[in-house]
Structure 1
Amino acid sequence: MLNGLDVFLLPQKAIFIPAHSLLILSDWHVGKLGHFRKEGLFVPPMQLEEDFGRLAVLLEELPVNWVVFLGDLFHSSWNMEGVALQQFLSRYPKIRFSLTRGNHDIIQDELWEASAIDCKEYIVLPEGLVLSHKPLMGLKPPIYNLVGHIHPGCEVATTARQYFRFPCFYLEGRVLTLPAFGRWTGLYMMRKRADNSIFAVVGHEIIELK
């Protein structure tokens, strides 16, 4: 709960806020592999069906009226993966889609205008939650800032002394960082300290590290 608002961390690497029928996800990086192929690197085509399936489950099982992408929805220039995303979003004409523009969202303005996505620098919820790609400077309590950008991950030890890496939600101070929704992003490893909270995405569960 943030500022009295129920905020649910989901194992699909997204956040749901029922009071606003709002689903939040970050750093999908659609078109990343297509960008690498264009640069001459041998990588397989980006398979978006699994990502589309994860998002479709959320859109169809939760009462979602609004989706906010916290930046880096695309990786760079427009390509066929962007077309596939646009076709997927068109299946949900009653849902509003917004983007807080990230450093990789550099496609032409006319393509944004033709898409179903409303672009902003940041979004403010009335309860004092600010949504943006990167943390915004100068925000003061009781404001919370929900961000993406760094693709947080964590290391979890088992009783057999094995270590596994997982994406995570990372809360430090009043900044809550979401894991990357996309699968081709890598992880920026976060360490558990007394002054932060880490919520690992382990399969179909969210586990808080102690």
Structure 2
Amino acid sequence: MNQRSASAVTAVRARARMIERLREQGIADSRVLAAMNQVPRHLFVQEALASRAYEDTALPLGCQQTISQPYVVARMIELLAHGRELGKTLEVGAGCGYQAAVLSCMAKEVYAIERIRTLIERAKDNLRPLRLPNLRLKYGDGSVGLPEAAPFDTIIVAAGTASVPKPLLEQLAPLGRLILPLGSVDQTLLMVERSADGRLKESRYDAVRFVPLLAGTE
């Protein structure tokens, strides 16, 4: 077995251990587990950190950003899905592209927006080998959403904010669901669900820690 083949086998085994750990941590949606198992997380982290790709920890991406720990990715997507289809999905804060790739395994369409040009270019490079036809990356200010592609059935925000950005609520379809880390310091996962007649319902879940949601681009 050559080095490349050995590395591939090691990654598959590490990913299998990650999935088993997610089950033990309470992730029960088989679609989420299958999507997490399908995406090679080691391709989305810096080469020096590839050996830690399947640990349950956030890892630095540069630009003062991180790739979220696997449990948090799985938990947010499981809450967002809640036994239903994701439909057309907006991800705010694409980062390295990992979560967008996982979402693409479950959603009809995924639009992932990132405000840092260095990261969006890296995400494109990371995602290119996977050839995901239902995933579109956008460079722009995620705090204003993506009005040209709205409305969205599901919206997931990978950055903390003190309040739900109004443009994101406006781009949420009837019966749509939005999840984000709410809070500047002490953050909790907030789910916002829109009823068929437009009313909004909020639910709070786990304590989390994310980098802040910033406006503008760089």
The higher relative CO (CA closer than 8 Å, separation ≥ 6) is in 1
Compare the two structures and name the one with the higher helix fraction.
2
Compare the two structures and name the one with the higher strand fraction.
1
Instruction: Give the structure-2-normalised TM-score.
Output: 0.31
